[in-house]
Structure 1
Amino acid sequence: MRFHPKRWLYLAHRWLGIALCAFFAMWFFSGMVMMYVGYPKLTPAERLQHLPPLAATAPLLGPAQALDRAGISGPLKELRLAAASGGRAVYFVTPSATKGSRATVIDATSGERLPPVDAAWALASAAAYGGSGADPLYLGSLDEDAFTHSRGLDAHRPLHRVELPDADKTWLYISGQTGEVVRDATRSERLWNYAGAWIHWLYPFRGNALDAYWSDIVNALSIAGIAVALAGTAVGLLRWRFTRTYRSGSRSPYAGGSMLRWHHVTGLLFALVTITWIFSGLMSMNPWRIFDSGAPPLQTSALQGGPLVFGVQDATPQALITAAGGSVRELRWAPVLGKTTAFAQIGSGQPMLLDGRTAQPLALAPQTLGAAAARLLPYPVARMETLLDYDLYYYAREAHSMMGGSDRPLPIWRIVFDDPHATWVHLDPHTGSVLGRLDSRQRTKRWLFAMLHSWDWLPLLERRPLWDITLLTLSLGGLALSATGVVMGWRRLRRPARKA
């Protein structure tokens, strides 16, 4: 039997297409849904909005007193105070030593360590989150469901699920470790997610016997999808006559108006964007860890200047709340440039910095901060830039989008190191916090994933609805290409049955 390359190319495209066109159609449709409804998340702004203000007159223990009564000694990575667990003020203690260690929760009035969260405690947290008059419904405890696959929730499992009596029938997920609300999902978000992120990310393979193979399944389907799209492009070009026409007068061999003609034409028009989107989706999985550079971690101790420790001479929470002008929703302590610093979060946006001992307003000296930031890596600094506006590597997205919702303040510093990995560090000069790190491989991923998949390009993002029109047009074209493939595949599979 002779080997005919064209025939095998046609057969490979036909049968791979029959197997994968349904996935293509699903990805294009769900991608359009995700443009407007993202996977449920609780953004920092949402969390702060639902926290009741800390009262300056409340009998709150100071950090040193609370830690001493709970039997906790430093050093600590971070300490937070908020009325975020069971509706009352508590300290959240994060140790500095062990990566991924869970926070300890201390009652801010008694210093008592709180036990693991039960149903009554979860209901109290939900009622405080929902506001006055809320009578939430307890829906049970779970480890993971369709809306809590995120690895960022691992430290809070098991989770308590509670439904608020609001018009949106909002589900709240309460940490089983701290009692905090860690995720919310409205009814519309839940419904749209079954047609959006849940199927787009192939989450039906998560949380069950296939969970361990989820990454491999996504990678394999993406690679097969690229192969079938490339094969289809080759077939489409081979079947299209560029210099002359077929007897019908058309450059396509298929009858006008037929499904074959539609598939041929849409394939030639939208093959490139289809290949691009499947490839960039594969890049989001970091296959074979191609974007892991092995760069050493940042020496954040250079910015901290020492461990976080407390003494009886530190300012009381009441003094810090008063100094911040009241209405403080959260106090957070962290070491900055060798000084215990309190971050008073009044609402969304930048926190107010206070001296942890004197409660006086604090401003970081640019020269001192710059010198400390230069020691984040043991390499010379090539340059330091001040970003007053967003650019291609530092920008904000809508809260519902995959990479949106996090704080992206301006202005910031970009510190460019002369190291083997060409590292950039983004630093907030107001708080001294590292906002992100990008080496050469991560910047490559930004182009191969975020740019090609979500079209995170400022000239488009800043000119809505141009971004919407562009992506919807291309997505509908890809959906038409995929849908015609699904119909043709269904007809092909029905042929043997009709003959039988």
Structure 2
Amino acid sequence: MKRYLYLAHRWLGIALGLFVLAWIVSGVVMLFVGYPKLTPAEHLSRLQPLPADCCIAPAAALAASGDPRTPLSLRLTGAGGAPRYLLDYGDGPLLAVDARSGRRIARIGPAEALASARQFARGAEVRLLDRVEEDAWTRNHALARERPLYRVQADDAERQLLYVSSHSGLVVRDASARERAWNRLGAWLHWLYPLREVLPKPVWSVALVYGALLAALLTLLGMLIGLLRWRFAGRYRNGSHSPYPAGAGRLHHVGGLLVGAVLLLWLVSGLLSMEPWGLFDKRSTVAAGALQRAPLRAEALPGALAPALQRLHQAGIAAVELQWHMLGDRPYLLGSDARGATRILPADLSEPARQRFERDELEREVRQAWPDRRLRFDWLEQEDFHYYARAEPSLYSQLPRRLPLLRVRFDDPAATWLHIDPYSGAVIEQLDQCRRAVRWVFKLLHSWDWPPLLQRPLLRDGLLLAFSAGVLVISLSGVLLGWRRLRLRARRRLARGPARPPLS
């Protein structure tokens, strides 16, 4: 039985050793350089304050869309140096309306894409490369509504590669030369995107899941063999508890016993991050959209922008972006400035602008949205295990994590939570038991997002680097041992010479 364990571990190691090594090296890189993304702060910082006479009225923009549906929200922003209304219907691409002429923009052409890229690059020279569905820096689902994308090269100091939505005309992703270079050794390698370049997405996903599963089996077998070969009482002839002489063999044996469990943990949690076999599919039946009990109709919107912009200015906001949405049966306007500061006020301007909704007011709207549910309200004044900010390299660093926050707990079978931002009244996150499980199996076990460590980033990074170094020793020594085994087999085959044909 032991012989089969050794053979399984040996040949799985030979087959997967380089993959495991690549995962460890790229994981270390991802601690410091994240996958390219465009944050809300980057987007807002490129916009200019909206002049009082810049645009047609919001109601006119809704009428100009020509779409009989009612949007969930209406947003006024800038693209290519010109104001633009964007209508969000919840699914599918955003619908764009020119905020000056009132003309629906049916298609974003290359000239508009270059204008948006030039504005984002602060006037640097730009050139259009091509139009793509996706590439190495735009593979994640967050851009599904924006595809296809214009790919534009900016000749600025950072040599940014900019991606412009063919539906809204906004720059939706930027990737500097530094990010692209490091990500070739980081996220691009960690997620096996070289395979994604040549395999269909479903095949790549299966390869990633089962490759990680086999690597976890490899590690588990290695830990078992390591325990079987270790002499807890007594020593081998070489004077060590390990039978292997000094060198790669002993490093692999002793290192595997010391940090093999960490490697196994990272492989299993990385596998589960792909959410295979429907394990973490959303099971909640709570409709978060119920908080918007009335549609956003043209008659509910103001006839002019100037009074709203004046109110926001009086509240300390030089608005660069406006967004109208419903809370309950009442429309509200959220204004943002270039630094990301916000103010909210009723669309009819019946009240002064303020930073956020009052607690009683927001709780009342939630109760009216779900009158037949038993609800529990928690107001978070500080970050906790399920709501916390991350540093810039993280995949989740762009998510808003303002405080205080209203957490609404439902009594449904899926134990749903809603996170509601009192600065806007919007549901920013919906978590049921399955989605909270992802927090445990991936964000905690794989990324070590544990509050005491997140509060001590130097300690967290130090521990991750120390264990990564140990796992790197296991991987490198394993690859070396596998290479030696293959060379030995090749030499033996050559020594035996070519096989003789059987006698007739």
**Normalization by structure 2: what TM-score?**
0.93
What is the rounded CA distance, in whole Å, between the counterparts of 1:191 and 1:465 in structure 2? 25
What is the rounded CA distance, in whole Å, between the counterparts of 1:316 and 1:253 in structure 2? 83
2:101 is aligned with 1:101: no
Given the superposition, is the C-alpha separation of residues 236 and 348 from structure 1 closer, same or farther in structure 2, using an over 3 Å criterion? same
Q: What's the CA shift string for 1:250-294, capped at 9, x where partnerless?
A: 1000112x2111111111111100000001001101111112252
- Tell me the equivalent position of 2:179: 189
2:453 is aligned with 1:460: yes
- Tell me the equivalent position of 1:17: 13
Given the superposition, is the C-alpha separation of residues 294 and 493 from structure 1 closer, same or farther in structure 2, using an over 3 Å criterion? same
State whether residues 393 and 446 of structure 1, in contact with CA within 8 Å, keep that contact through their aligned partners in structure 2. Answer: yes
2:296 is aligned with 1:308: yes
What is the rounded CA distance, in whole Å, between the counterparts of 1:435 and 1:286 in structure 2? 21
Q: What's the CA shift string for 1:317-359, capped at 9, x where partnerless?
A: 2222221116211010101121111111113445211221227
More off after superposition, 268-277 vs 346-355: 346-355
- Tell me the equivalent position of 1:269: 258
2:45 is aligned with 1:49: yes
- Tell me the equivalent position of 1:329: 320
**CA deviation after TM superposition for structure 1 residue 452, in Å:** 0.5
- Tell me the equivalent position of 1:62: 57
- Tell me the equivalent position of 1:339: 330
Q: What's the CA shift string for 1:84-127, capped at 9, x where partnerless?
A: 2x3211111123xxx52211111111111113222211111111
State whether residues 56 and 318 of structure 1, in contact with CA within 8 Å, keep that contact through their aligned partners in structure 2. Answer: yes
**CA deviation after TM superposition for structure 1 residue 404, in Å:** 1.7
Q: 2:364 aligns with which of 346, 359, 371?
A: 371
Give 3-state SS (helix, strand or coil) of 1:455's partner. coil
State whether residues 35 and 183 of structure 2, in contact with CA within 8 Å, keep that contact through their aligned partners in structure 1. Answer: yes
Q: 2:379 aligns with which of 358, 380, 386?
A: 386
Letter of the 1:353 counterpart: I
**CA deviation after TM superposition for structure 1 residue 375, in Å:** 5.5
**CA deviation after TM superposition for structure 1 residue 433, in Å:** 1.2
**CA deviation after TM superposition for structure 1 residue 35, in Å:** 0.4
- Tell me the equivalent position of 1:71: 66
Aligned pairs for 1:354-369 within 5 A: 354-358=345-349, 360-362=351-353, 364-369=357-362
Q: 1:28 aligns with which of 3, 17, 24?
A: 24
What is the rounded CA distance, in whole Å, between the counterparts of 2:279 and 2:358 in structure 1? 39
What is the rounded CA distance, in whole Å, between the counterparts of 1:382 and 1:140 in structure 2? 51
Given the superposition, is the C-alpha separation of residues 305 and 123 from structure 1 closer, same or farther in structure 2, using an over 3 Å criterion? same
**CA deviation after TM superposition for structure 1 residue 368, in Å:** 3.8
RMSD, aligned α-carbons: 1.8
Q: What's the CA shift string for 1:346-385, capped at 9, x where partnerless?
A: 1344521122122743563533421332366576435311
Structure 2 residue runs without a partner (length 5+): 495-504
- Tell me the equivalent position of 1:88: 82
Structure 1 residue runs without a partner (length 5+): none
State whether residues 266 and 445 of structure 2, in contact with CA within 8 Å, keep that contact through their aligned partners in structure 1. Answer: yes
State whether residues 379 and 405 of structure 2, in contact with CA within 8 Å, keep that contact through their aligned partners in structure 1. Answer: yes
- Tell me the equivalent position of 1:425: 418
2:254 is aligned with 1:259: no
Letter of the 2:76 counterpart: L
Give 3-state SS (helix, strand or coil) of 1:89's partner. strand
State whether residues 65 and 312 of structure 1, in contact with CA within 8 Å, keep that contact through their aligned partners in structure 2. Answer: no
State whether residues 266 and 481 of structure 1, in contact with CA within 8 Å, keep that contact through their aligned partners in structure 2. Answer: yes
- Tell me the equivalent position of 1:249: 239
Q: What's the CA shift string for 1:173-208, capped at 9, x where partnerless?
A: 011111110000000000000100001011122254
Given the superposition, is the C-alpha separation of residues 376 and 248 from structure 1 closer, same or farther in structure 2, using an over 3 Å criterion? farther
Letter of the 1:343 counterpart: L
State whether residues 123 and 138 of structure 1, in contact with CA within 8 Å, keep that contact through their aligned partners in structure 2. Answer: yes
- Tell me the equivalent position of 1:198: 188
Q: 2:343 aligns with which of 332, 352, 361?
A: 352
What is the rounded CA distance, in whole Å, between the counterparts of 1:293 and 1:81 in structure 2? 32
Letter of the 1:29 counterpart: V
- Tell me the equivalent position of 2:230: 240
- Tell me the equivalent position of 1:140: 130
State whether residues 300 and 347 of structure 2, in contact with CA within 8 Å, keep that contact through their aligned partners in structure 1. Answer: no
State whether residues 21 and 486 of structure 1, in contact with CA within 8 Å, keep that contact through their aligned partners in structure 2. Answer: yes
Letter of the 1:77 counterpart: L
2:436 is aligned with 1:443: yes
**CA deviation after TM superposition for structure 1 residue 430, in Å:** 2.9
- Tell me the equivalent position of 2:308: 320
Given the superposition, is the C-alpha separation of residues 145 and 221 from structure 1 closer, same or farther in structure 2, using an over 3 Å criterion? same
- Tell me the equivalent position of 2:269: 280
Letter of the 1:442 counterpart: R
What is the rounded CA distance, in whole Å, between the counterparts of 2:20 and 2:63 in structure 1? 58
Given the superposition, is the C-alpha separation of residues 379 and 267 from structure 1 closer, same or farther in structure 2, using an over 3 Å criterion? farther
State whether residues 63 and 298 of structure 2, in contact with CA within 8 Å, keep that contact through their aligned partners in structure 1. Answer: no
What is the rounded CA distance, in whole Å, between the counterparts of 2:456 and 2:433 in structure 1? 28
Q: 2:212 aligns with which of 209, 216, 222?
A: 222
Given the superposition, is the C-alpha separation of residues 280 and 164 from structure 1 closer, same or farther in structure 2, using an over 3 Å criterion? same
**Normalization by structure 1: what TM-score?**
0.93
Given the superposition, is the C-alpha separation of residues 25 and 75 from structure 1 closer, same or farther in structure 2, using an over 3 Å criterion? same
State whether residues 298 and 377 of structure 1, in contact with CA within 8 Å, keep that contact through their aligned partners in structure 2. Answer: no
Given the superposition, is the C-alpha separation of residues 299 and 42 from structure 1 closer, same or farther in structure 2, using an over 3 Å criterion? closer
**CA deviation after TM superposition for structure 1 residue 312, in Å:** 8.3
State whether residues 126 and 164 of structure 1, in contact with CA within 8 Å, keep that contact through their aligned partners in structure 2. Answer: yes
Letter of the 2:81 counterpart: G
Letter of the 2:396 counterpart: M
Give 3-state SS (helix, strand or coil) of 1:324's partner. helix
Give 3-state SS (helix, strand or coil) of 1:374's partner. helix
What is the rounded CA distance, in whole Å, between the counterparts of 1:399 and 1:320 in structure 2? 34
Q: For this pair of structures, how many residues does the alignment match?
A: 488
Give 3-state SS (helix, strand or coil) of 2:390's partner. coil
2:393 is aligned with 1:400: yes
What is the rounded CA distance, in whole Å, between the counterparts of 2:221 and 2:399 in structure 1? 40
**CA deviation after TM superposition for structure 1 residue 309, in Å:** 0.7
State whether residues 136 and 165 of structure 1, in contact with CA within 8 Å, keep that contact through their aligned partners in structure 2. Answer: yes
What is the rounded CA distance, in whole Å, between the counterparts of 2:481 and 2:371 in structure 1? 60
What is the rounded CA distance, in whole Å, between the counterparts of 1:206 and 1:348 in structure 2? 37
Give 3-state SS (helix, strand or coil) of 2:298's partner. coil
Given the superposition, is the C-alpha separation of residues 313 and 483 from structure 1 closer, same or farther in structure 2, using an over 3 Å criterion? closer
